[in-house]
Chains A and B, each alone.
Chain A
Amino acid sequence: MSDDVRRMFFVEAAELVRQFEQGVLRLEHEPTDRETLDRMFRSAHTLKGLGGMLGYDRIARFTHNLEDFLTRLRKRDLAVTPVVSDKLLAAADVLGTLVAEAREAPATSGVDLDEAIGMLCDGQRASVGPRPVDTATDGGTLRVATEKVDRLVDLVGELAVTQSMVAELVARMGPAGRRPLQAAVTQMDRHVRELQERVMNVRMVPIRHVFARLPRLVRDIAQAAGRRVELETSGETTELDKSVNERIVDPLTHLVRNAVDHGIEAPEERQRAGKDPVGRVKLAAYHQGGNVHIEVSDDGRGLDADRIRAKAEANGLLPAAAVVGERELFAFIFRPGFSTAERVSEISGRGVGMDVVARSLEALGGAISIRTERGRGTTFHITLPLTLAILEGQCLRVGDGVYIVPLASIVECVRPRASDLNVLLNGLETLTLRREVLPLIRLHRLFGIEPSSREATQGLLVIVERDGQKVAILVDELLAQQQVVIRSLETNYRKMDGLAGATILGDGSVALIIDVPGLLASSRANPDRLALAPSTTTGGNP
């Protein structure tokens, strides 16, 4: 069997399994919907045919039995009761697992096929391993391997670089030679820009694929937590970069899980408060101002400011009786180890806290904020960049090298006065900025290069911030701000701490992109590395 056929099969199979699962969820609302049953039947049927053709006998055998089960439903020999829909969902899991194991042939997933088939007949519920992640994209669209697109992105990036090289050469030419070329170069510039935009756009996928997993999750959690919850989604067609899409699955899953488990109250409690016993969780996505926005909201009990305050005080994060705004107070829930849930329930107590959510969103260049009203509900608002592959960067010069810092992480730039600089006993250098003491990082020392001047007062300090933590980076000079296409370093070099990647500048030289969170983390974990060697003195200090 050719690789193309195999690849096509796994994309199609993932989509079929997803359709089947969505069908089950729809059946729960409309147990007699013939069309849904037909569609589910077709999904199973197609999987059976393909399984048989491609020699995936376990898939063929299971779907054969599943077809019989669905036929009983179609003939109304069997009604869609909660027990039946549980079986159908378990069947969807079995299908997903069988498809995943086929991909990793000859290894098997350990699904006991006889047991799984048996579940369709008697009252047993099949237990299967964790569901594989499906990466199928939409029907009716062209499916392209990611590597192909990435290669295109690389090439277009290179084309953009060549274009700027030509532009620079033309600019250096004498006026006589330049004139005829100028118009052509300007036009080329426009085309390259547009091409780059369009190629980047190929990487954009609708968020639907992330949202599609959540109805099942909401259902399972609501059932386990004794909640009644309806999930509403909007903006499923909102597009975002494929890599962003993949990496928001976990944070979003966590937020939705929290909303159902902690946000929405038990039905009796809701009724006592005069609310609809069925809680609502809404997921919305939309584009605005060059960013993607995602909101997860619930109409549950809202965050408890008093409890968060008590916990913050108990943890020593907040002095007793300190005056803080609600906004600041709620931000505490994103701190590591901060959880106000009274009991660690089976569902939410998975060791992943809101701090992990916040951190993974920040790693994507995004941010999260909270709106909440006691008794009315909570909304988590996520802002994400459209793409991870392009970065709005500030170029910095250190010696002969050019480095790039994401513009978004820069707070300000200062030329330090000698009196603001200090060396601590452990050798760590600091900058005092409006009464705040920040660690000072010498980029030239970190990357082992020769700066124009070792005197900090001769250089510039770029203040960067992440997670509310600031650090001052010493550089020689600020250069231009520009959009850069990020290349991974690992394909060409070994992974280096403090670097997020590299890019190629207009003159063809390589500039390294500084990984601000990584830099901060290493300054926390390993202050010695950033400290002065004992033999060196800070010339800047009188």
Chain B
Amino acid sequence: MSARILIVEDSPTMRMLIRSALEQGGYRVAESEDALQALAVVQEVAPDLVITDVNMPEVDGISLVSQMRTFPAFRSVPILMLTTESSEEAKERGRLAGATGWITKPFDPAQLREVVAEVLGVQAR
């Protein structure tokens, strides 16, 4: 069974881009348009990996990561942050909150799939 990935991203265009990149890799994809919606559906979706944008209205991606890490079931589910800032400060804040890694926008589809495969592979071992 292919892995299930939850995308949390407020831009519909970006969601569409990520979804199509992942679906081409054979992954199953669920979407949330903000962090609150993601928190509401994450138990039900039970993703193997979460990809979240950082800069979102109301609750940002970093807060989402810390929130999710308080759920026992999601303590070890990998979470990748999507960021345009490659600044060390943003990465550090994400890491402290419990993010597994990050992807810098712009990315190309193959690159995204590589990172995802790597993260999922590491988890499987």
Contact = CB atoms under 8 A, between A and B. Distances in A.
Contacts of B107: 53
Interface of B: 10-14, 16-17, 20, 55-57, 84, 105-107
Nearest to A49: B105
Contacts, number: 46
Interface stretch (A38-46, A89-97, A121-129): A38-46
B57 A5 contact: no
Among B17, B20, B57, max chain A CB count under 10 A is at B17
Nearest to B106: A52
Contacts of A45: 55, 84
A5 B17 contact: yes
B11 A46 contact: yes
A60 B84 CA distance: 11
Contact of A9 (B13, B55, B57, B106): B13
B89 to A, nearest CB: 13
Interface residues of A, number: 20
22 contacts: A4-B16, A5-B17, A5-B20, A8-B12, A12-B11, A12-B12, A12-B13, A38-B57, A42-B10, A42-B55, A42-B56, A46-B11, A46-B14, A46-B55, A48-B84, A49-B11, A49-B14, A52-B84, A52-B105, A53-B17, A53-B107, A60-B106
A9 B15 CA distance: 11
A61 to B, nearest CB: 12
A52 B11 CA distance: 14
Given A42-B55, A42-B57, A8 B16 contact: yes
Nearest to A16: B11
A426 interface: no
Contacts of B20: 2, 5
A49 B12 contact: no
Contacts of B57: 38-39, 42
Contacts of A49: 11, 14, 84, 105-106
B124 to A, nearest CB: 29
A60 to B, nearest CB: 8
Interface string A45-60: 1101110111000001
Closest 10 CB pairs of A and B: A52-B106, A9-B13, A53-B106, A49-B105, A8-B13, A46-B11, A12-B13, A49-B84, A45-B55, A50-B13
Nearest to B82: A49
Interface of A: 2, 4-5, 8-9, 12-13, 38-39, 41-42, 45-46, 48-50, 52-54, 60
A317 B84 CA distance: 66
Among B11, B12, B14, B16, max chain A CB count under 10 A is at B11
Contacts of A42: 10, 55-57
A8 B107 CA distance: 18
Contact of B16 (A5, A46, A48): A5
Contacts of A53: 14, 17, 105-107
A58 to B, nearest CB: 14
B11 A50 contact: yes
Contacts of A12: 11-13
A126 B20 CA distance: 38
A2 B10 CA distance: 20
Contacts of B16: 4-5, 8
Contacts of B17: 5, 53
Contacts of A41: 55
A57 to B, nearest CB: 10
Nearest to B10: A46
Given A52-B105, A53-B106, A5 B55 contact: no
Contacts of B106: 49, 52-53, 60
A7 B3 CA distance: 29
Contacts of A4: 16
A428 B77 CA distance: 86
A168 to B, nearest CB: 47
Contacts of A48: 84
Given A5-B20, A38-B57, A52-B84, 15 more contacts: A5-B13, A5-B17, A8-B13, A8-B16, A9-B13, A12-B11, A12-B13, A39-B57, A41-B55, A45-B55, A46-B11, A49-B11, A49-B106, A50-B14, A54-B13
A37 B11 CA distance: 18
Nearest to B83: A49
A4 B12 CA distance: 11
Contacts of B11: 12, 46, 49-50
A8 B12 CA distance: 7
Nearest to B56: A42
A34 to B, nearest CB: 13
Nearest to A48: B84
Nearest to B57: A42
A53 B12 CA distance: 13
Contacts of B84: 45, 48-49, 52
A50 B56 CA distance: 14
B106 to A, nearest CB: 4
